[in-house]
Amino acid sequence: YEHHKALISRVSKLPAQTVDGVSVQVMGNIELPEEVVAVRDHGGNGIGLYRTEFQYLSRSGFPREDDLFDKYRDVVEVMAPSPVTIRTLDINGDKAVSYFRSHQEANPVLGLRAIRYCLNKPDVFKTQLRAILRASAYGNVRIMFPMISVVEEVRQAKAILKQVAESLAREGTPFKADIDVGIMIEVPSAAVMADVLADEVDFFSIGTNDLIQYSLAIDRGNRHVSYLYQPLHPAVIRLIRQVADAGREKGVGVFMCGEMAGDPVHLPILLGLGMDELSMNPQAIPVVKNAIRSLDLKQAREFVKAVLRMKTHEEVEGLLREAYGPLF
Amino acid sequence: YEHHKALISRVSKLPAQTVDGVSVQVMGNIELPEEVVAVRDHGGNGIGLYRTEFQYLSRSGFPREDDLFDKYRDVVEVMAPSPVTIRTLDINGDKAVSYFRSHQEANPVLGLRAIRYCLNKPDVFKTQLRAILRASAYGNVRIMFPMISVVEEVRQAKAILKQVAESLAREGTPFKADIDVGIMIEVPSAAVMADVLADEVDFFSIGTNDLIQYSLAIDRGNRHVSYLYQPLHPAVIRLIRQVADAGREKGVGVFMCGEMAGDPVHLPILLGLGMDELSMNPQAIPVVKNAIRSLDLKQAREFVKAVLRMKTHEEVEGLLREAYGPLF
Ligand SMILES: [Mg+2]
Ligand SMILES: [Mg+2]
């Protein structure tokens, strides 16, 4: 095991290139600024998901712009010139703290959360967007909006971002004017409307945890229905395909940052469907990079055609074992 | 107004046939057996949704088979030979009563409910299936399973139904052996997998209330996100189309029993997509039948092609007003 770990660590700096020469970006998910070191040390090609809830949950009131800016710049500088994808506030029922709770919700997972919350509280949102834009002057920053379910939300969020950018420009504060703007695809309606959403953004990042939860209508925290939490369910795979196809057709990057992306067993399907970037727990990066280097992308694309004919997650798992069992 | 009502009532016995001669079945949703009279008097072509929760919620323990049988037979006999679609127990978080609550759920709408609950409690399920099958000897009964999210659930439910039928046959109790079995399509994964599910059933019934709720990831009871409850959202329309296309291709009936079916404004889209049956609040039946008689199905099909190019629910509404405004 130690030998294996050392080997993986040694090869983790190598690019994640398939046998037939296609490069895949393997990125890290982080929550705290200091985790950026682990991403770099494990050979990550950037940050695919920088969660920003911690600064909001670890204190008794909303954080100040300068505090947020510091936390973002720290990460951006360490990773530069590699990209850092900052997700705007994704507060939800589970995570909510006292000063947030203006109301109780019977089903918080289907409630006023993430981009809905931010559009509802434009001042809170603008403070964060200012901090992100200011940090963009120090490296390679992308902005990502979570929980998009309708195109109007993207347009509204972009309009607010534009206002914030204009006010920074007036003040003479430096920021990256052509910053990449993307959205998470984690609500079924967003996957179904990916072709329309693609016209509004530079990239998609598929959030598999929530996409599975909503597509199958199961609370992923509820153990009574956890048997229905099936990452390899054909419906999930079809939705991911719809997003990947729309992204490819419109020249929009297709990334993934859910837990699914960090398990090498899913790689033949994810690469075969056309993911350009996978983002995961930093510790998973070396294993995933290594597994990518043993995959043939053309073969994976053929394999996905067979996967798309399956009817249940068990059939998909069986096919995976049959075709790729020896690899994993 | 009184004149209008009298007119509608007079014509409500006429078949709901489009201008170009296609018949649509207009059915009633009921909860209590006595409501069947309203469906008949309003010209309904049958019961598209007979909710069966009341007998479970109005007492202190699970109802006995004979009590259920009585309630089902009452309705079946009144409607015979028209169909009565009995939906199996759809208990959920909102509706649950004390003797059900074996556990608390953080998001009951995404929890152990409906078919999940029944597969988890096969004895409760079998009692209801026996009562339904026994009632099927007295008229035209269909069985419908709610909240299907994966094909295995349909197979399991059908296997239990088969066991129950076999035991009735052994006892010599009469029932309809070739009873129609259908499922509700109200979870996004079911809509996405409609082609696969079609191989297992005789009909689909689209439950728009839940389909909208899960597709857009909003609790329809939560007023803070009610602005996102959009029946005419393009994602919802695309999912309905996917179900309708799969049903048509496989010769499976495509029905609808959500609130959307009872509002005449939706008719051009629903008929254009290919609904064979619409089921609604009994009071809505005359108005809907009348509106169907003023519609041209070929035109509606063309109209739907334009609808499918829309990006937001507002655009769909605008198009509807433009094309059909004078009608409604
Ligand atoms: Mg999420
Ligand atoms: Mg329902």
CB contact under 8 A, A151 and B238: no
Of all residues in chain A, the percent with pLDDT exceeding 70 is 94
Which residues in chain A are closer than 8 Å to B148, comparing Cβ atoms?
none
List, as ranges, residues 265-324 from B with C-beta within 8 Å of A.
311-313
CA distance linking residue A118 with residue A116, whole number of Å: 5
CA distance B218 to B200: 30
**Predicted pLDDT at B72:** 98
pLDDT in tens, A218-234: 998 899 999 999 999 99
| Beta carbons of A261 and A280 less than 8 angstroms apart | yes
Q: Looking at beta carbons, which residues of chain A come within 8 Å of B235?
A: 150, 188-190, 192-193
Judge: B217–A192 Cβ closer than 8 Å, yes or no.
Answer: no
Q: What is the pLDDT of residues A27-68, one digit of tens each?
A: 999 999 999 999 999 999 999 999 999 999 887 789 999 999
Whether the pTM exceeds 0.90: the reply is: yes
pLDDT at res. B94? 43
How far is A14 from B58, CA to CA, in rounded Å?
Answer: 66
pLDDT of residue A154: 98
What pLDDT, on a 0 to 100 scale, did the predictor assign at position A101? 54
Give the number of other CB atoms < 10 A from CB of residue A58.
Answer: 10
Q: Could you tell me which of A50, A47, A45, A49 has the C-alpha nearest to residue A208?
A: A49
> Which residue in B105, B192, B235 is closest to A189 by CB distance?
B235
Q: How far is the CA of B186 from the centre of ligand 2 (A)?
A: 6
Spell out where B76-206 has E strands.
83-87, 140-145, 180-185, 203-206
The pLDDT assigned to B326 comes to 65
Name every chain B residue with its beta carbon within 8 A of the beta carbon of A218: 110-111, 149
Q: How far is A125 from chain B (nearest CA, A)?
A: 18
B312 with A222: Cβ contact below 8 A: no
pLDDT of residue A218: 95
Chain A segment 136-165 residues within 8 A of B by beta carbon are 147, 149-152
Q: What residues contact residue B113 under an 8 Å CB cut-off, 6+ apart?
A: B90, B91, B92, B93, B147
- pLDDT at position A59 is 77
pLDDT the model gives residue A150? 98
CB nearest to B192's CB, from A147, A150, A235: A235
**Chain A residue closest in CA terms to B219:** A110
Q: Does A222 touch chain B (CB under 8 A)?
A: yes
Identify the band that residue A276 occupies on the pLDDT scale cut at 50, 70 and 90.
Answer: very high
- ipTM value: 0.95
Chain B hits for A312, CB-CB cut-off 8 Å, are: 150-152
Which pLDDT score, from 0 to 100, does residue B98 have?
53
Q: What is the pLDDT of residue B75?
A: 98
pLDDT for residue B309: 97
Q: Among the bound ligands, name the one nearest to the CA of residue B217.
A: 1
Largest CA distance in chain B: 61
Q: How far is A188 from chain B (nearest CA, A)?
A: 5
The pLDDT confidence band at residue A1, using thresholds 50, 70 and 90, is low
Q: Is the pLDDT at A318 greater than 70, yes or no?
A: yes
Best mutation target, B92, B102, B107, B310, to test chain A (most A CBs within 10 A) = B107
- Whether residue A287 is predicted with pLDDT greater than 70 in this model: the reply is yes
Provide the 8-state DSSP code for B251: T
Q: Which two tokens stand for residue B72?
A: 């089902």
Q: What is the pLDDT of residue B305?
A: 98
Smallest CA-to-CA distance from A118 within A143, A96, A145, A98 is with A145
pLDDT per position as a tens digit, A91-133: 864 445 455 555 678 888 999 999 999 999 999 999 999 999 9
The residue of chain A with its CA nearest to that of B194 is: A235
| Residue range A184-210, pLDDT digits in tens | 999 999 999 999 999 999 999 999 999
* Residue ranges, chain B, pLDDT below 70: 1, 4, 7-8, 92-103, 326-328
Query: Are B177 and B137 spatial neighbours (Cβ–Cβ below 8 Å)?
Result: no
Angle B153-B159-B161 (CA atoms, 0-180°, nearest 5)?
Answer: 105
CB A260 within 8 A of CB A231: yes
Q: A150 vs B230: CB contact, 8 Å cut-off? A: yes
CA distance B322 to B318: 6
Q: Which helix (H) or strand (E) holds A185?
A: strand A180-185
